């Protein structure tokens, strides 16, 4: 796995942006829980913030690791865990993917259509071409899907989920990308349903996912 030779310290402004975006996503989920009683009652979860009224995702168009179009239609009919990351990430991204692979094994007894798909949206489209991204995510689980696209398209998609990213300064040809580390659960109707904040623990993710399934009619 390739890593940057030098990783600059995260600027305070970047940390503030990422924290604000994650905070907005979490606050939105809890406000939906408190004020929008029109949907199904959310389950009691250990770590996940669950929306009472899931938020429909606006249209988007990205590219899957196999070169095919990736849009809202690819999210329909099953649950999906979305994370943002990049293949040159030195620690956070591979750790999260290992955790998600472990969570998947804990959910292996569920019928295939009820297990969550996992997609990693690259925040580094400059280096993460579809083939590079496809090989990278397959290293952690052959069922994982890598997704990339133009930087504006990725940024717009991230914003709809309450995420953000920012490329760091290039030093000796290397750079890192600061990005939101939360996981986002999308329901079978392509709606944002829940947010899993850090730290990520496989057992907690799997347990909360089962609680969410049990509480929903489509589960």
Q: Please state, in angstroms and as integers, the Cα–Cα distance from residue 177 to each residue in 120, 181, 212, following that order.
A: 14, 12, 32
The predicted structure's pLDDT at residue 41: 60
Q: How many residues does the chain have?
A: 219
Q: Which fold has domain 12-215?
A: Glutaredoxin (3.40.30)
Alpha-carbon distance of 64 to 197, in angstroms, equals 25
Neighbour-count burial for 150-164, b at 16+ CB within 10 Å, e otherwise: eeeebebbbeebbbb
Which two three-digit tokens encode residue 193?
């349903």
Beta strands in 150-190 (DSSP E): 165-167, 177-179, 183-186
The full set of domain ranges for the chain reads: 12-215
Q: What is the pLDDT at residue 144?
A: 98
* Predicted pLDDT at 181: 96
In the chain, the percentage of residues whose pLDDT exceeds 90 is 76
Give pLDDT, residue 219.
52
How many angstroms separate the CA atoms of 87 and 129, rounded?
Answer: 10
pLDDT profile of the chain (219 residues), mean per 10: 37 44 46 42 86 95 96 97 97 97 98 96 96 97 97 97 94 92 97 97 98 83
Q: State both tokens at 2.
A: 């390739």
Instruction: Determine the pLDDT at residue 44.
Output: 86
């Amino acid at each position: 796995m390739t890593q940057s030779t030098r990783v600059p310290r995260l600027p305070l402004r970047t940390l503030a942006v990422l924290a604000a975006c994650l905070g907005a996503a979490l606050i939105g989920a809890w406000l939906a829980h408190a004020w929008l009683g029109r949907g199904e009652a959310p389950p009691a979860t250990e770590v996940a913030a669950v929306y009472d009224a899931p938020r429909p995702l606006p249209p988007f168009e990205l590219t899957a690791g196999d070169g095919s179009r990736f849009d809202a239609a690819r999210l329909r009919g099953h649950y999906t865990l979305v994370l943002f990351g990049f293949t040159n990430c030195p620690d956070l991204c591979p750790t999260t993917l290992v955790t998600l692979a472990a969570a998947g094994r804990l959910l292996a007894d569920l019928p295939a259509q009820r297990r969550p798909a996992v997609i990693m949206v690259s925040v580094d489209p400059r280096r993460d071409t579809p083939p590079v991204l496809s090989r990278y995510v397959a290293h952690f689980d052959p069922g994982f899907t890598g997704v990339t696209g133009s930087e504006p398209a990725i940024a717009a998609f991230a914003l709809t989920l309450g995420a953000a990213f920012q490329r760091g300064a290039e030093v000796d040809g290397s750079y890192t990308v600061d990005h939101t580390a939360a996981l986002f659960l999308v329901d079978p109707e392509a709606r944002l349903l829940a947010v899993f904040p850090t730290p990520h623990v496989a057992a907690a993710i799997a347990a909360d996912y089962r609680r969410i399934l049990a509480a929903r009619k489509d589960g």
